[in-house]
Amino acid sequence: MPLTVEIEKKLATFALNVSFAADDAPLGILGASGAGKTMLLRCIAGLERPDRGRIQLGQRPLLDTDRRVRVPARDRRVGMLFQSYALFPHQTVEENVEFGLRGTPRGAGGSNVHEMLERTHALGLERRYPRQLSGGEQQRVALARALAIDPEALLLDEPLSALDTHLRSQMEAQLQETFSTYKRPALLVTHNIEEAYRLSKKLLVLSRGQVAAYGEREEVFARPPSTEVARLTGCKNFSRARAISEREIEAIDWGCQLNVAQVVPKSIGYVGIRAHHIDFMEASEHGGAAQNVFPCWLVRTSETPFRITLYLRINRPPDGSEAHDLQAEVFKEKWERFQKRPQPWHVKLRAESVFVMSE
């Protein structure tokens, strides 16, 4: 049962104007803070009223301003999971889930509560109040309540952002399990790029209320249409670019020429490559005529528990400042293998990893 959304809503500093369809594959929604992500979910849920447009869930119109149709939130059969959990503090876990079951065809009762809590691995919490639960437990109960109405669409607004690393991992596994059996539209708003990639099959990128990118996650990551979409999906390396031929460009800010796998558009403005796609070559693998291979020098490093970010100058040594051309990310095991080699090192920017973007 597809979910089709075409809505407009005037906001304080811009207009939300989106059009997309979601099927039974989870759809991740990315965007900067204030881009309209939460407002979009609230409009679908019926908690906010768009100025105009249409929202259809399967054969049911939830909103059609031309036909003056607006189904109340309580009748939309849309489950929503909030960042703040939104559990009723004066009710037990059992009562919270029972609230979701009221009015559903399955009715209410202990057996249904048991089923919902079992599905979300929250059994044993029935008599507790929200204040007696950890953040992860509260989110599992909130998910059980959202699923209790047997929703025809599921909306999740930053469901993991308030959890610590351990609980986030547990809850992400819970969502993966839920999505594997929930074959209906599910929209997931998140700021975490890796989380969006792991949990979603498709991505929708919002920029000030407009759809900046929409499609299969692999395509959005491999071929972002703009520098904004590239940044929002985690890319850190950009250069102004101009076309030399159909598959060759000049990266102006990097001071090099690159062969690319895609046909260069006439309106090319920038080139990008993701930090983890930069390859460090063994001495025997590079030569003077090797394609897209350049000498590089290390400016500085930044360390995480498992990875090293390397800030590099290519084609010329550092000038004593922090200025760099590229950021490369490597696992520490690989870093240990080449960090003591004499510089310059050599990097390869593979043609299939480089992407070009229009102005």
- 39 closest CA partner among 72, 70, 75, 14: 14
Residue reference for tokens 């992400």: 172
- Residue 319's pLDDT is 86
- Residue 109's pLDDT is 42
pTM of the entire predicted model: 0.85
Model confidence pLDDT, tens digit, residues 340-357:
899 999 999 999 999 999
Model confidence pLDDT, tens digit, residues 119-131:
888 888 999 998 9
The pair of three-digit structure tokens given for residue 324, joined into one six-digit string: 């760099």
- Residue 102's pLDDT is 65
Do residues 16 and 209 lie in contact, with contact meaning Cβ atoms separated by under 8 Å? yes
Model confidence at 107, pLDDT cuts 50, 70, 90, reads very low
What's the CA dihedral at 238, 243, 249, 253 to 10 degrees? Answer: -40
Model confidence pLDDT, tens digit, residues 270-326:
999 999 999 998 765 655 567 899 999 999 999 998 999 999 999 999 988 889 999
> Bridge partners of 294?
347
On the CB side of 49, how many CA atoms lie within 13 Å of its CA? 7
Residue reference for tokens 């950009």: 238
Burial of 166 (0-12, 13-18, 19+ CB in 10 A): exposed
Model confidence pLDDT, tens digit, residues 133-191:
988 888 888 888 888 888 999 999 988 877 777 778 888 888 898 888 898 999 999 88
Q: What percent of the chain has pLDDT over 90?
A: 62
CA distances to 138, 220, 238, 267, 277 from 235, in Å: 34, 12, 8, 21, 10
- Residue 146's pLDDT is 87
Pairing of strands 153-157, 78-81: parallel
Please give the average per-residue pLDDT across 85-94, as a whole number.
87
Helix (H) or strand (E) holding 41: helix 37-45
The DSSP secondary structure of 325-357, one letter per residue, reads SEEEEEEHHHHHHHTTSPSPEEEE--TTT-EEE
Which residues touch 273 (CB under 8 Å, ≥6 apart)?
235, 237, 326, 349, 353, 354, 355
Model confidence at 103, pLDDT cuts 50, 70, 90, reads low
Residue reference for tokens 């046909």: 263
Does the pLDDT value for residue 83 go beyond 90?
no
Handedness of CA 332, 355, 296, 318 (dihedral sign): negative
Model confidence pLDDT, tens digit, residues 143-157:
888 888 889 999 999
* List of domains in the chain: 3-222 (3.40.50.300), 235-359 (no CATH)
Handedness of CA 81, 84, 90, 94 (dihedral sign): positive
d(CA 164, CA 148): 26
- Residue 111's pLDDT is 44
d(CA 81, CA 39): 14
- Residue of higher predicted confidence among 275 and 99: 275
- 257 closest CA partner among 239, 274, 230: 239
> Bridge partners of 21?
4
Model confidence pLDDT, tens digit, residues 19-76:
999 999 899 999 988 899 999 999 999 999 999 999 999 999 999 999 999 999 989 9
Residue reference for tokens 């708003």: 189
d(CA 73, CA 179): 23
Please give the average per-residue pLDDT across 185-205, as a whole number.
92
- Residue of higher predicted confidence among 215 and 109: 215
Does the pLDDT value for residue 226 go beyond 60?
yes
- Residue 134's pLDDT is 87
